[in-house]
């Protein structure tokens, strides 16, 4: 007896949900571009606020002296957990985040539900919106005292580390690329769990998203949108080398696409594509053979 196709391709629900989400994003980025930008701007705004919280928590713990050391390691854990809520807030406010959209458009392109031109429109407008939201946060913080506490030196130090990847040359570029790949792999693994239809309750979905962001923040992985917002916040107050910052974001964008668009989007689109299998089954049932390379494998 042949296996049930549903057991052979268990991710079909995930793929169909992603394609439905793509249809909404494609329509909004075309016919409702201003509202799409607003949704994307909210995602950038939320990342800015939660990222600020992350650095403020790290700085607060670092200020606590314990003998000859500080509580900085605990601060990094607490800060990363707080930042983990960013993806939850973005998902449940129906905001638009570039890095998760990389997975969505890749699945759509594989299944020919969209063209790469429309996919780039979705991603391009989303990044612009994320940037605008980050700029709003940066402008608000520029004229407030929120960064006069422990958060500011932590953010400046983080920027220095991120720019050092570029100034270090090829080894730094590769390091940055790998960190960006792993970052969006984690983000989109969480979104796969959210979309797959197996997890029914909001608590478990939220925990999946929180833990994915926690891991990328704690490990020091590279998120193109978070970096963009961080550079804007620090740049507005302290100034920044725009060339190095732009190079960092550029490499992070490539790595994020490889991690989310290729390793999750295209990979899961392929392994859950039952087209060849169903064609083979149909050919077997009527006594014919499709003669494809997949059939011979």
- pLDDT tens for each residue of 25-34: 999 999 999 9
What is each CA distance from 259 to 60, 179, 222, 228, in whole angstroms?
33, 10, 11, 18
Closest CA to 29 of 96, 125, 132, 93: 125
| Cα 145 to Cα 56: distance, rounded to the nearest angstrom | 13
Average pLDDT of span 237-254:
96
- Per-residue pLDDT for 186 more than 80? yes
Structure tokens at 201: 């309750």
- Per-residue pLDDT for 268 more than 60? yes
Residue 149's pLDDT is 85
| Cα 134 to Cα 95: distance, rounded to the nearest angstrom | 14
Residue 67's pLDDT is 72
- Per-residue pLDDT for 292 more than 90? no
- Per-residue pLDDT for 119 more than 50? yes
pLDDT band at 265 (very low <50, low <70, confident <90, very high): very high
Residue range 12-148+155-271 in CATH 1.20.1080.10: yes
Average pLDDT of span 103-113:
95
Expressed in angstroms, the distance from the first to the final Cα of the chain is 20
Q: Mean pLDDT score of the chain, rounded to an integer?
A: 91
Q: What is the CA radius of gyration of the chain?
A: 21
Q: How far is CA 255 from the centre of its chain?
A: 11
Q: H-helix or E-strand containing 70?
A: strand 69-70
| Cα 21 to Cα 31: distance, rounded to the nearest angstrom | 16
Where are the chain's structural domains?
12-148+155-271
| Cα 223 to Cα 229: distance, rounded to the nearest angstrom | 10
What pTM was computed for the model? 0.90
Residue 297's pLDDT is 28
Residue 65's pLDDT is 82
pLDDT in tens, 131-159: 999 999 999 999 999 988 889 999 999 99
């Amino acid at each position: 007896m042949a296996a049930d196709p549903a057991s052979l391709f268990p991710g079909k629900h995930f793929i169909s949900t992603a394609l439905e989400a793509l249809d909404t994003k494609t329509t909004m980025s075309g016919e409702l571009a201003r509202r799409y930008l607003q949704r994307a701007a909210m995602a950038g705004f939320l990342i800015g606020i939660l990222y600020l919280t992350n650095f403020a928590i790290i700085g607060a713990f670092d200020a606590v002296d314990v003998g000859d050391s500080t509580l900085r390691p605990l601060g990094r854990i607490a800060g990363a957990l707080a930042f983990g809520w960013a993806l939850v807030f973005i998902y449940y406010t129906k905001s638009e985040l570039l890095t998760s959209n990389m997975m969505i458009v890749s699945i759509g392109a594989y299944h020919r539900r969209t063209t790469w031109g429309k996919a780039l429109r979705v991603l391009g407008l989303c990044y612009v919106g994320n940037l605008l939201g980050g700029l709003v946060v940066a402008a608000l913080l520029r004229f407030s005292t929120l960064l006069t506490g422990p958060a500011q030196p932590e953010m400046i130090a983080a920027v220095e580390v991120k720019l050092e990847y570029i100034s270090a040359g090829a080894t730094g570029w590769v390091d940055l690329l790998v960190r960006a790949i792993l970052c969006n792999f984690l983000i989109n693994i969480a979104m796969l769990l959210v979309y797959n239809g197996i997890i029914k309750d909001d608590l478990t979905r939220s925990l999946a998203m929180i833990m994915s962001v926690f891991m990328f923040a704690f490990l020091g992985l590279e998120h193109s949108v978070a970096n963009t917002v961080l550079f804007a916040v620090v740049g507005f107050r302290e100034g920044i080398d725009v060339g190095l910052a732009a190079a960092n974001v550029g490499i992070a964008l490539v790595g994020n696409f490889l991690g989310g668009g290729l390793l999750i989007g295209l990979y899961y689109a392929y392994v859950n594509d039952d087209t060849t299998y169903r064609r083979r089954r149909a050919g077997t049932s009527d006594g014919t053979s499709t003669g494809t390379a997949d059939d011979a494998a």
